[in-house]
Amino acid sequence: MSLNLQTDSNYLENAYRYVLVAELIRKGNQLNFPRFDILFSETPDEGYDIVLGCNGKYRFIELKADYGRKRKANVILRVKTSH
């Protein structure tokens, strides 16, 4: 199956979103993080794609795509936890 970045962008966005969430859960479990809430925005005008919550603190995450450039994607994630 071949995907087209223009016509299949919603499909790809959703797939990458679930991959990210699966990795967050996996890594959180490995590091013994407390259980956290995961919420998804259903409309694009909310300004965020994912909300992560734990112990009453929430982080709003907006995902961005960069197509056409041949460069490695890097993500820096700073997390403070208290458990």
Q: What is the pTM of this model?
A: 0.64
pLDDT of residue 82 exceeding 50, the answer is no
Rounded to an integer, what distance in angstroms lies between the CA atom of residue 3 and that of residue 6?
9
pLDDT tens by residue, 18-56 = 888 899 889 888 988 888 899 888 776 778 888 889 888
Sorted by where each begins, the domain ranges of the chain are 1-83
Buried b (16+ CB within 10 A) or exposed e, 9-48: eeeeeeeebeeeeeebeeebeeeeeeebeeeebeeeeeee
Q: Quick one: pLDDT band at residue 83, thresholds 50, 70, 90?
A: very low
- Chain-centroid distance, C-alpha 42: 14
The reported pLDDT for the residue numbered 46 is 76
